[in-house]
Amino acid sequence: MAVTSTRIRLGALLGGAVLAATGVSTAQSAAAAPSAPAAADAPSAAAVTKLSHSDAANRLRGAGISWTSSGGCSDRNNPSCTSFEQINLTTVQGAVTLKGATGCALTITGGTETGHASGTYSHWNGYKLDFSPTSCLSNYITGTFTNIGPRPGDGAQQYKSGSGNVYARESNHWDVTYYNCGGC
Are 123 and 112 in contact, with CB atoms under 8 Å apart?
Answer: yes
Q: Where are the domains of the chain?
A: 50-177
Q: What is the pTM of this model?
A: 0.75
**Tens digit of each residue's pLDDT, the chain (184 residues):** 433 333 333 333 333 333 333 344 433 333 333 333 333 333 334 689 999 999 999 999 999 999 999 999 999 999 999 999 999 999 999 999 999 999 999 999 999 999 999 999 999 999 999 999 999 999 999 999 999 999 999 999 999 999 999 999 999 999 999 999 998 8
Cα separation, 143 vs 158, whole angstroms: 12
